[in-house]
Amino acid sequence: MSNVLVKKAVHAHRAITKQDATDWMPAAQRTTLQSEISRAARPGAGAIVRTAGTDSPLPGSVPEQILDKWHYHGEACRTMAARDRSSIHGGFHLYRLAN
């Protein structure tokens, strides 16, 4: 996904979804991907991270200077995870890029 996003214009996307592959990425790869998402996303864009586990894999593995650009919607995440009809994902994480 990083290889695709690097070719996109700045602020080209208003929404991005990542599936559970993020769970198994090394921290350096997560950082590269989240950095490219931050560059390619429009202000206010949403990013959904679907995970195998219940916790988001981003905090603690992606540097704060990248994650600080994003707001995590914890309550909405819990609501959406409870409504998720997919039995293969344990977590649903919604981040919104600051304006």
Each residue's pLDDT tens digit, 59-71: 999 999 999 999 9
Average confidence score pLDDT of the chain: 82
DSSP string, the chain: -HHHHTTSPTT-EEEEEE-GGGGGS-HHHHHHHHHHHHHHEEEEEEEEEEESSSS-S-BTTB-HHHHTTEEE-HHHHHHHHHH---SS-SEEEEEEE--
* pLDDT above 70: residue 77: yes
Domain ranges of the chain: 2-97
Q: How does pLDDT run across 12-46, given as a tens digit for each residue?
A: 656 667 666 777 889 998 899 889 889 888 999 99
Q: When comparing pLDDT for 18 and 50, which is higher? A: 50
pLDDT on residue 96: 93
CATH architecture of the domain with range 2-97: 3-Layer(aba) Sandwich (3.40)
